[in-house]
Amino acid sequence: MPANGSEFEIKLRFPFGRLESIEKWIIARGGLRRQHLQSAYIDTPDFLLTQAGFAFRLRKEGRQWIQTLKVSTDNPLKRLEHNVVLDFTGDAMPNWCLDLHDQHNPGKLLTKRFPKLKTDDLQIRYQTDIWRRKTAVKTRQGMLEYALDLGSIHSLLPNGMASIPIQELEIELKEGDPRDVLHHALNLIKIHGAYIDSRSKSERGFLLASGLEFGPPARANFISLKKAGDRHEMIGRLIHSSLQQILANQSVLNAECNNYSEYLHQLRVGLRRLKVLFKYLARYDIFMSEQGVGVFKSTFSMLGEYRDNDYIEIVLNPRLLSLGSSEIKLSNNAELPDPSHITRGKEFQLLLVELMSIGLTQASFIGGPTDDANVKDDAAILKKIVSQFLDDGFRFISNRAFKFSDLQDEEIHSMRKKMKFLRYSLEFFRDYCIKKTCPKFFKALTTTLDFFGLFNDICVAINRIEGLAQNDPTLLFALGWLKAERQRVRGLCGKSIKKLIQIKTPWQS
């Protein structure tokens, strides 16, 4: 039976043909017998539990039935769970009962979130049929479990039964240091080309039962630092928040989603936010490795090529066609392959492991008794650091806003990067801002960034099309229109930035 308390695991998928060698490795270490796991996932008709981060299931293991309630945490690799062995055996599915979890953390959180929820409100929404081969692996400090799952998720839809395959390896911490999980994942990435998939079976089942292939792109979530125990917990929450967004979107890109534009965009946003966060973490001597910084920059740059293409193909070309002009064809340039060749790549996957390790290093400090005075001191120091960075950034923007008409394109781009720094900082540290003034400033900042982002897209497109127009005179109209549009949008940027700097800032200097 699974242990109660919390579950820390990483889920890996593999290139075609590599699972056989993983299975042989598990067999050689004692995983001779396969275990048949049949689970029914239970939720309300409109999936209230799943959408709130809960997973409630009945699982048949041999002749034994186990009822489990899990809930997500701010760490994308960790979930709280409570398991109950039911006094029931046989093939027929027993009745489920939420009350069995009442006295444990997942049950308490469920009751707090849905105080009026009753067992009768629930029904089976999808099921899994898995053959699991597992083995225990000793580490210097504890024990891990390797579990290779092969099978399917199935759900009855209005047009018939639908199913999707499951082929994944879970490495779960049974005892010891959670960083051992990441160390083993790192080896599998290096040797077998494994790549991380943060989507749980419950998430994939929810999508299947909803008639969807993928969920919506993951966006940044609000972070609460008020109840953090100390600076280590604050830092851990900040890192995990960025990783939530990055891991979710890269998991969809890894699965070769056809309409990938917004997932790719949100992945780049997550990477930008992480870059901003590391500017703050440097004050605590927390850094990415030199190799990690190099991979970070190259990955962001390669993903940027897709973003530039999207502006031309999705935004600019329809506009040009509406004006009676020819569209811009990018066939002269090498077509970009599916972005999964970047996100599933060994370098990027190793970077993700490094980032998760940094977050866990901070989390490892959490758990002991914390002095209230030290907590207040940590918060006061961090708040002072945040205010200094925000003051410097706002001063940079204000100084250039007054001479905006004289700025070169590169200087405008520098202003945009500084405004992004302000925006992501406010998302990270909203708890340290004045509630009454924050919404107005944040809305004005977002509007201004939209104008500056459009200006940047136009500038990039002009630079690209100028080279193509030398051999294709049909692009001259598009080039002329873009240059006129650049002047118009530049004017909007100037007006918007001057309005922004007149608004009271929401942080205390």
Does residue 354 sit in the same domain as residue 384? no
Would you say residue 218 lies in a domain? no
How many Cβ atoms from other residues are within 10 Å of residue 420's Cβ? 20
Q: Which H helix or E strand runs over 236?
A: helix 231-254
Does residue 130 sit in the same domain as residue 198? yes
Would you say residue 437 lies in a domain? yes
Domain boundary at 213, 240, 275, which? 213
Predicted pLDDT at 474: 82
Percentage of the chain lying above the pLDDT 70 cut: 96
Predicted pLDDT at 152: 98
Cα separation of 456 and 461, whole Å? Answer: 9
Does residue 355 sit in the same domain as residue 446? no
pLDDT at 348 over 60: yes
Structure tokens, 429: 């540290």
Does residue 86 sit in the same domain as residue 194? yes
Would you say residue 10 lies in a domain? yes
Average pLDDT of the segment spanning 180-185: 97
Predicted pLDDT at 369: 47
Predicted pLDDT at 182: 97
Does residue 124 sit in the same domain as residue 246? no
Predicted pLDDT at 197: 97
Does residue 362 sit in the same domain as residue 404? no
- The string of pLDDT tens digits covering residues 257-277 is 989 999 999 999 999 999 999
Domain boundary at 340, 370, 400, which? 370
Does residue 27 sit in the same domain as residue 84? yes
- The string of pLDDT tens digits covering residues 51-95 is 999 999 999 998 899 999 999 998 999 999 999 999 988 888 999
**Greatest pairwise CA separation for the chain in angstroms:** 79
Does residue 286 sit in the same domain as residue 321? yes
Lowest average pLDDT, out of 1-15, 21-35, 213-227, 241-255, goes to 1-15
3-state secondary structure 294-312: HHHHHHHHHHHHHHHHHHH
Does residue 377 sit in the same domain as residue 257? no
What one-letter code names the amino acid at 354? E
Structure tokens, 58: 């009945």
Residue 472 banded pLDDT, cuts 50, 70, 90: confident
User: Considering Cα of 381, then 387, then 393, then 395, what sign does the dihedral take?
Assistant: negative
Would you say residue 250 lies in a domain? yes
Q: What share of the chain is helix, strand, coil (3-state, %, to 5)?
A: 55, 20, 25
Does residue 357 sit in the same domain as residue 379? no
- The string of pLDDT tens digits covering residues 303-343 is 998 988 888 888 999 999 998 888 887 754 456 788 999 99
- The string of pLDDT tens digits covering residues 143-178 is 999 999 999 999 999 899 999 999 999 999 999 999
What one-letter code names the amino acid at 34? R
Average pLDDT of the segment spanning 446-455: 97
Does residue 378 sit in the same domain as residue 365? no
Predicted pLDDT at 371: 56
Q: How far is CA 384 from CA 48, 64, 376, 421, 456, in A?
A: 40, 56, 12, 17, 33
Would you say residue 285 lies in a domain? yes
pLDDT at 247 over 50: yes
Query: Domain range spanning residue 438?
Result: 371-509
Beta-sheet pairing, 160-175 with 195-196: unpaired
Residue 473 banded pLDDT, cuts 50, 70, 90: confident
Phi, psi of 314 (to 5 degrees): -95, -35
Would you say residue 219 lies in a domain? no
CATH number at residue 56: 2.40.320.10
Tokens 């000793």 -> residue: 138
Average pLDDT, the chain: 92
Q: Which H helix or E strand runs over 455?
A: helix 438-469
Does residue 230 sit in the same domain as residue 201? no
Cα separation of 353 and 350, whole Å? Answer: 5
Would you say residue 100 lies in a domain? yes
Domain boundary at 213, 248, 274, which? 213
Predicted pLDDT at 2: 58
Strand partners, 157: 160
CA angle 252/258/261 to nearest 5° reads 75
pLDDT at 194 over 60: yes
Phi, psi of 371 (to 5 degrees): -75, 130
Phi, psi of 190 (to 5 degrees): -65, -45
Predicted pLDDT at 4: 74
CATH number at residue 421: 1.40.20.10
Overall domain count for the chain = 3
Q: Which residues are within 8 A (CB) of 118 and not within 5 positions of it... i.e. 6 or more apart?
A: 98
Q: Checking phi first, is residue 259 left (phi over 0); if not, alpha (psi -120 to 50) or beta?
A: beta
Percentage of the chain lying above the pLDDT 90 cut: 79
Would you say residue 220 lies in a domain? no
- The string of pLDDT tens digits covering residues 364-406 is 554 444 556 667 788 889 999 999 999 999 999 999 999 999 9
